[in-house]
Amino acid sequence: MDRHASTIQTWDQLAAAYQEKFMDLDLYNDTYDRFCDLIPTLNASILEIACGPGNITRYLLSKRPDFRLEATDLAPRMLQLAKENNPTATFRLLDARDLHTLTQTYDGIMCGFCLPYLSRKDCAKLIKDASPLLTTDGTLYLSTIEGDYQNSGYETSSDGQHRMYVYYHSAQDLQSSLEENGFAVVELVRKSYTSAAGASSTHLVFIAKKK
């Protein structure tokens, strides 16, 4: 089984545990609020990439029930949970690396913690592909784990049952990709995060506007 197929299988197996762990996490809510504030358009069209069980989806719709939100994920089980948690949203099975297949334009794109599972090359492609999908002055949200790309590698889940390839990214690399693709960074936020196992990491949040 290749790494991509293994990733889908692992996310399907982890879906329920991920929902239990992150559904009510409020660490990033202030950054989601900022994303919403930057999209004043009523009934704005929003694309969510890698929605998981719909935790961010649910928060966004609680703040902005007018959003016409289309959420995507590559794991069928994650989408199933997301649908149950967000009956007013629409959903699509989609790999984040296939954004170029979409033709609709959006007022905002939310991409919460997809980048830790994308290589540097795939992250650059995602940002490039997101640009034409956004309306002028559209808003893009990206979050990831900050670190040296050379330290990327397989990590084991807290239950010890699953292995996932995790990529670390630098703020400089992401900012460069954003600027090269016509985005102006509005905010760069760093959040300290401690896992259930006690491991500490720094999470990056970029909020950018399409010029």
Please state the φ and ψ torsions of residue 50, each to the nearest 5 degrees.
60, 60
- Number of structural domains (the chain) is 1
CATH number (domain holding residue 195): 3.40.50.150
DSSP type of residue 66 = T
- Structural domain including 110 reads 3-210
Which residues contact residue 176 at a Cβ distance below 8 angstroms, ignoring those fewer than 6 apart?
A: none
**Rounded CA separation 210/84 (Å):** 32
pTM score: 0.96
pLDDT tens digits along 111-141:
999 999 999 999 999 999 999 999 999 999 9
Could you tell me the two tokens for 66? 């007018």
**Rounded CA separation 208/188 (Å):** 9
Residue position matching structure tokens 């967000």: 86
Contact 52, 80 (CB under 8 A): no
**Mapping DSSP to helix (H, G, I), strand (E, B) and coil, where does residue 110 land?**
strand
Which residues contact residue 10 at a Cβ distance below 8 angstroms, ignoring those fewer than 6 apart?
A: 162, 163, 164
pLDDT tens digits along 13-55:
889 988 988 899 999 999 999 999 999 999 999 999 999 999 9
